[in-house]
Structure 1
């Protein structure tokens, strides 16, 4: 049993270590999930850096999304069974062999989804569906997506196309443009180029890029701000900005609302709208190689940890 853990905050390459993990038992009304796959996401790396140190106790095991099977279950738990495949949500801890959590945070996974797609079904596909629902664009509108070559950017482009909404993809390099060759896009431009009047936008970057998008949105439109890849917040005073943080929505929603939203996401994955490209899988012990691969600018798919490799 292994875990990738930070005993202090800082650059992930400097503070993360792979070490033996203690055996865990289910708490009252809880389960233990044997992890089969877990994704590397920016939210994991930002958390390790210390950006949210005020609410993250140490030692900290990253991994906000993944899939596993129930390996142990408290006698009080009903509705779940040993060996059942689930998404263990509501907390970090996916980058280890076993994760203990309350049973209410386990979302059963349909049999027709692969481990790889299940392991990437939460952070990006669910965020995309929820921010699209909040923006509520209509057919014919022009909506911009920055960081459009990212996993969630591609999902948003497909969802917009399925709704007959025109999209403007914004990327940072011509190489990123090439990565979007197979995605449905009305137009693609480089960051920093002048923006046309927009009916709405999805901002994963913040800082100057997010501000430029907000300023291009027509009166009555909205900017869904859901990420901070630049590390810089949006400047104050921008109109029509609607912040969205998945953690806040998930912890405020009822378990019935969460299960219903994930059922919608599972349908999006089946249809291909929210399918995620997987570039490589690594055992926990190869975490340094996995993190270096994840940081490559040429990467065009997700990196997963598979504890059983």
Structure 2
């Protein structure tokens, strides 16, 4: 009896015969069987066929915040940080002070901190406003933290204060806190040429004030038809920062025409000649001008 040759058995490629039905993701044929595998971000389930999402956030791949998404994850950063363009997982501090708008975040100085920033003010004369960004001038005269004597008047300026005192010159009497009136002339020949009134004013502005700028207005307390006046700076303008300009027949202004480059105190004397009914009366304004530093 003759023996028949052994029968050869061909492997069945289950993956090709049943596409998409055997495995959730990938099907790999093996001899006599098949094997399921999963894409990146997934793992094989207990049934050996399905794929379930891997929560990568459990392994803390991000330097700050991690959000699991189907098949992957996404890193996020807290406020004040940004995701690195290099690795996409590291959070880098945002230097708010160096941003194009950084110069406008704080009114004086911006200090960067990891994840945030802080505004600061000059060491004296200012305090940080409630919004944490602007600097507010401390009015030393109101708060009483000045050192002016009882005979001096405290005048607040940006970031500081001044103690002021004045005496009426000869032939004048004090008629108000800052005003001197000419006494009756009698037989004094020079007296009629003196101003009828000398008034003291105090004003302040920063070095970065926009010019030209009107800083003072002057004119009679009341005018009558036919009045005219002339305004002139008689002292204190040797460097030519100021000029006078007539606004109408009975009033004029003092204007700053070029910037004062650095903080300083100036005393400007402005004379007004009032022409009324054929007579000339003179009035003088003493302007104490305090130019403060740019904030």
Q: TM-score, normalised by structure 1?
A: 0.22
Q: Which has the larger share of helix?
A: 1
Between the two structures, name the one with larger relative contact order (CA 8 Å, sep ≥ 6).
Answer: 1
User: What TM-score does the superposition give when structure 2 sets the normalisation length?
Assistant: 0.23
Larger strand proportion of the pair: 2
